Amino acid sequence: MIICVAVVGLQNNPLYIQSFTDGDDALKLHYIVHCSLDVIDERVNNPKKIGSTLNETYLGLLYPSENYKVYGYLTNTKVKFILVTTDEDLKDADVRSFFRQFHAAYVDAVSNPFHVPGKRITSRAFAERVSTIVRSFGTSTTI
Amino acid sequence: MVREVSESCVDSVTMEMVAAYCGRFYANKQELAARRIEAIGYQVGLQLAERYTKERPRFADHLEAIKFICKDFWSELFKKQIDNLKTNHRGTFVLQDNRFRWLTRISLDSPLPTANGSPKESSTTSNDAKSAQAAGMHLYFPCGIIRGALTNLGVPCQVSAEVANLPACSFVIRIKG
């Protein structure tokens, strides 16, 4: 189950963060998202250490903690998407397809002429679309 | 889901935008009008860059980003690629388009034949100057688009345009820093 998604901008400024839990652990999730930014930086600056596919937008599993797994995605415009989940065994294809849909939603949101580039995304349509994507996560493996 | 836009509508909008800014809003301040048009292009470029790079790996260096502008980005916008790319390898790139789509609809009075029956050298040069002036205003928008797209891809730059003879034109990109 996805418990948090976040969009982080060029200067590591939060653009959008949304948790999908009932409890008030928003602060903890913010902390997890923050930590993962360092991991992203490290991966992007030392791509040889990973040795995997060069400059792919999908960064894969960033780090596992006791309860969560954190996945990352970095667009060409240096905007980061972060996904926090509690699932133990996730298929890579599922995560990739999630990020692809999420990216499409993000692009549509920032193409709104009323959106100011580099500012928080406040669009309600975007929030609804994100929750739809999150709800459908893992239910279908079609790409 | 692929959405398409009528080409003639885009032509009308871009031409009318230039006409409105130069002729009505800032009739006496052409420089300010140019800046405003460029700013609109900048935002369009930012958004288009995000959209068109969605399915591709990240760029390793500036040259790759500029090649992307010449090939894929230009194809998406104008259904053709940039015809010629030149660089001095020190941060300046010249993108030449031999038939820039947004200039193909601009027409000028043909030079009047002189008494000898053939146009004189001087009249063709003045015609060139006139075409450059008329087309110049229409090039601030695409300049803004290029600057916006490159800035969003992490290449801060300045873009200017030059017109040689319609509808050919070239865009000069100077990378900052």
Q: Which among B46, B58, B154 has the least Cβ separation from residue A55? A: B58
pLDDT in the model for residue B126:
65
Using 50, 70 and 90 to split pLDDT, how confident is the model at B116? low
CATH code: domain of residue B44 = 3.30.1380.20
Of B81, B102, B100, B95, the closest CA to residue B170 belongs to B95
- Whether A100 is covered by a domain: the verdict is yes
What are the chain B neighbours of A113 within 8 Å (beta carbons)? 43
- Whether B41 is covered by a domain: the verdict is yes
- Whether B27 is covered by a domain: the verdict is no
- Whether B25 is covered by a domain: the verdict is no
- Whether A30 is covered by a domain: the verdict is yes
Using 50, 70 and 90 to split pLDDT, how confident is the model at B157? very high
pLDDT value at A91 more than 50: yes
Cβ distance of A77 and B60 shorter than 8 Å: no
Size of interface A-B (CB pairs under 8 A): 47
pLDDT in the model for residue A47:
64
CATH code: domain of residue A118 = 3.30.450.70
- Whether A143 is covered by a domain: the verdict is no
Using 50, 70 and 90 to split pLDDT, how confident is the model at B128? low
What's the predicted TM-score (pTM) here?
0.83
For B152, the domain range is: 34-107+121-175
Q: Please report, to the nearest 10 degrees, the dihedral formed by the alpha carbons of residues B3, B6, B11, B13 taken in order.
A: -70
Q: Which of A77-86, B36-45, B101-110, B160-169 has the lowest mean pLDDT?
A: B101-110
- Whether A127 is covered by a domain: the verdict is yes
User: DSSP string of B19-51?
Assistant: HHIIIIITTT-HHHHHHHHHHHHHHHHHHHHHH
pLDDT in the model for residue A30:
85
How many CB atoms lie under 10 A from the CB of residue A132? 12
Structurally, chain B folds into a number of domains equal to 1
Distance between CA atoms of residues A15 and A137, nearest Å: 22
- Whether B14 is covered by a domain: the verdict is no
Across A39-43, A103-107, B133-137, which has the greatest mean pLDDT? A103-107
For A24, the domain range is: 2-135
Structurally, chain A folds into a number of domains equal to 1
Average pLDDT over residues A5-13: 88
- Whether B39 is covered by a domain: the verdict is yes
pLDDT value at B172 more than 90: yes
- Whether A140 is covered by a domain: the verdict is no
Cβ distance of B154 and A78 shorter than 8 Å: yes
Structure-block tokens of residue A138:
């893992």
